[in-house]
Amino acid sequence: MTITITDETFAGKILNKISLDFEKELVTIEQIITQRVIKEVENYNTKLPEYFNGLIAPNDAEKSLNGYKLKEKKTIDAEKQVYIALDAFQKNGFFVIIDNRQAETLAEEVLLNTHTQVSFVKLTPLIGG
């Protein structure tokens, strides 16, 4: 099952889109966040571009119009980024909206289909590793 997730502002402006693949149709919010962060980190680590565009800002990164610029080009630890993202979700650092309904817990289950809309709305800049 492939779904496209979006990053949005409170006003609904789409800032970013990313496609995620899941083996099962029934997934948890934790699995959606984890899959998203791992894919972003893998994409970055494969190419090591000048800017990282992801949910969690790596340590030693400066926010810019193009994303997060690392002071030194290096790979990012996906496991650390996932941990920080899951913690941030629990502390309301960002919302996950599934089909216009806010997810409440990491354990909440979602039945995915080709029309499932998943949006992430960031409240504050998130700093990671």
Print pLDDT tens along the chain (129 aa): 899 999 988 777 888 899 999 999 999 999 999 999 999 999 999 999 988 888 888 888 888 777 888 888 889 999 999 999 999 999 999 999 999 999 999 999 999 998 999 999 986 555 555
Tokens of 111: 């039945």
Quote the pLDDT of residue 106.
Answer: 98
State the pTM of this model.
0.89
In single-letter form, the type of residue at position 58 comes to P
Q: Note whether 128 and 14 are within 8 A (CB).
A: no
- Where would I find the beta strands (DSSP E) of 1-129? 2-8, 14-21, 26-28, 51-52, 61-64, 67-70, 94-98, 101-102, 109-111, 118-122
Q: Note whether 55 and 119 are within 8 A (CB).
A: no
Quote the pLDDT of residue 62.
Answer: 83
Q: Note whether 60 and 71 are within 8 A (CB).
A: yes
Quote the pLDDT of residue 127.
Answer: 53
Chain-centroid distance of CA 37 in Å reads: 5
Distance CA 40, CA 52 (A): 8
Radius of gyration of the chain (CA): 14
Quote the pLDDT of residue 81.
Answer: 95
